[in-house]
Amino acid sequence: MRVTVIGTGYVGTVTGACLAFLGHRVTCVDTDRTKIEKLRIGEMPIYEPGLKELIEVAQEKGGIDFDTDVKRAVPESDVIFIAVGTPPLPSGESNLAYLESAARSIGAAMDASKFRVVVNKSTVPVGCGNLVETLVREGLTEANPEMAGGVRFGVASNPEFLREGSAIHDSLYPDRIVVGAEDEETVRTMRALYEPLVEQTFVDPSFAPRPRGVAERTGAKAPMVTTTLTSAEMIKYSANAFLALKIGFSNEIANICERVGAEVTEVMMGIGLDSRIGTAFLNAGLGWGGSCFGKDVSSLLHTAGEYGVNARILEASLAVNRMQRNVVIQKLQEKLYILKGRTIALLGLAFKPNTDDLRDAPSLQIAEKLLQMGARLRAYDPIAMDACREQHPNLRICYCNDALSAAEHADALVLVTEWPEFASLDLGSLASRMNNPVLIDGRNLFSPEKARAAGFEYAGIGRSNNRGNGQLHPVRGVKTTVAS
């Protein structure tokens, strides 16, 4: 099929590349000329493992090109995806300006030569399916009033569930594909588009091998859930709200564990093995971040408010997360008393590993607060330092070439992002370079015993031995394990 994807950010570029990899002919469009020029010469405007390789293979399969002009791509397309940003306004509601402009430009470029589906892949509040239909029609009527009546199109909501850092894997092997639509022709078109994904008929690429679970599934290997437009829109918000809630819950339990002397990692393992709960997203830490959770929970709250629903759980979820980011500051104060004039080293800046995305990253809030309190900051992140320098020039951070240089003469080290390479750091070398070997492990990445053996004064999040002498269970000597 012929496909246009509008917006070449994290979602649009990955979606376009995957669809071309599956054999569709794709054009990705963006108003940002710099991004398009980079993509044309094979440079990625974002950091996403496997994306460059996928685009190279996609060129040989269905073919993918990059353009700044919607008008060139839309007339030939069967399916047009909108994957533009929907950032939050100060009120919490989603800023729909990019969506609106994209929908109008699609309308203005349409003709009567065939039936097309316009797909909302951006995360948009309930009712945006209708809004897009209206805007496409308005764009069409303004540009081509005489043709408008003869142009046929359907609107679908196809929310995206990929996670930055594993976006290629998530797009090729989704747990489910959600399509909301109000007419059969639109559903049929979307089914045809996604058939290779649903049936998993493609040969998996070496850089994103098919997981065993998917290969072994019978029937539709990536189930497609078809719903109304409104249900699909609600599914996306509810999924993100629930995931944010799971993390927030773990953090709240962590704070209680710390007081009562329990170990949150043990508690979460103990509850996660209950199949009704599941082990994912139960890692306590210094709070979630990223471009989606905060914005989506706020947007859902706003929608609830518009309909007079008092969504207390959603409100609490945001509040708990805001508080959790301050836990690091409290722990630093407990260990160092005075933060003014102290040097704090941050390990990790990206909101999570394997991405350069800093949107709503906890590191930013922590850095701002520490700077306000008079601390000096050193930092190291394997990927996100350039983005941080560029996007946050006011943050006075001394960027370092590696974790060891970040630790040099620091009074405390804070693990902010659990990049896998940090797990194998030589803790002894880190501690020996510091003025004061304090380690605040904001992601419970390190073993408290090992950190203490390396000379650190260690504090994790919700760990029973934050105040202890390093023995996990000094009396019983029990180590938590799961027998398989």
Ligand X SMILES: NC(=O)c1ccc[n+]([C@@H]2O[C@H](COP(=O)([O-])OP(=O)(O)OC[C@H]3O[C@@H](n4cnc5c(N)ncnc54)[C@H](O)[C@@H]3O)[C@@H](O)[C@H]2O)c1
Fill in the amino acid letter for 468.
Answer: G
Count of residues of this chain found to bind ligand X when the rule CB under 6 A is applied = 26
Residue 10 near ligand X by CB under 6 A: yes
95 is an interface residue for ligand X by CB under 6 A: no
Interhelix angle 229-260/264-272, nearest 10 degrees? 140
Give the 3-state secondary structure of residue 377: strand
The sheet carrying 177-181 orders its strands as 64-67, 25-29, 2-6, 79-82, 116-120, 153-157, 177-181, 224-227
CA 192 to chain CA centroid, nearest Å: 28
Q: Which member of 48, 93, 133, 164 binds ligand X (CB under 6 A)?
A: 164
Smallest distance from the beta carbon of 101 to ligand X, in angstroms? 4
Query: Measured from the CB of residue 154, what is the shortest distance to ligand X in angstroms?
Result: 20
Residue of 123, 186, 298, 321 that binds ligand X (CB under 6 A): 123
Considering the complex, state which of residue 47 and residue 458 has its C-beta at the smaller distance from ligand X. Answer: 47
Could you tell me where the DSSP H helices lie in 27-66? Answer: 33-40, 51-60
Backbone dihedral region for residue 211 (phi beyond 0: left; psi -120 to 50: alpha; all else: beta): beta
Q: How far apart are CA 214 and CA 199, in angstroms?
A: 10
15 scored as a contact of ligand X (CB under 6 A): no
Measured torsion, CA atoms of residues 9, 12, 13, 18, in degrees rounded to the nearest 10: 150
Q: According to CB under 6 A, which residues from 336 to 395 bind ligand X?
A: none
3-state secondary structure of 196: helix
197 lies in the site for ligand X, by CB under 6 A? no
Among 17, 26, 83, 346, binds ligand X (CB under 6 A): 83
Query: Could you say whether residue 47 binds ligand X (CB under 6 A)?
Result: no
Find the catalytic residue in 18, 28, 128, 292: 292
Nearer to ligand X, 9 or 154 (CB): 9
Q: Which of 48, 93, 160, 266 binds ligand X (CB under 6 A)?
A: 160
Cβ nearer to ligand X, comparing 352 with 443: 352
Q: Considering the rule CB under 6 A, would residue 12 count as an interface residue with ligand X?
A: yes
CA distances from 331 to 88, 358, 367, 392, 438 (A): 31, 23, 14, 25, 10
Q: What is the dihedral of CA 187, 193, 199, 200, to 10 degrees?
A: -150
Stretch that binds ligand X, among 30-38, 221-229, 433-441, 453-461 (CB under 6 A): 30-38
Instruction: Please say if 292 is a catalytic residue.
Output: yes
Say how far apart CA 197 and CA 304 lie, in whole Å: 34
Q: Does 285 bind ligand X (CB under 6 A)?
A: no
> Is residue 29 within the footprint of ligand X (CB under 6 A)?
yes
Interacting residue ranges for ligand X, rule: CB under 6 A: 6-12, 29-32, 35, 83-86, 98, 101-102, 122-123, 160, 162, 164, 291-292
Catalytic positions = 292
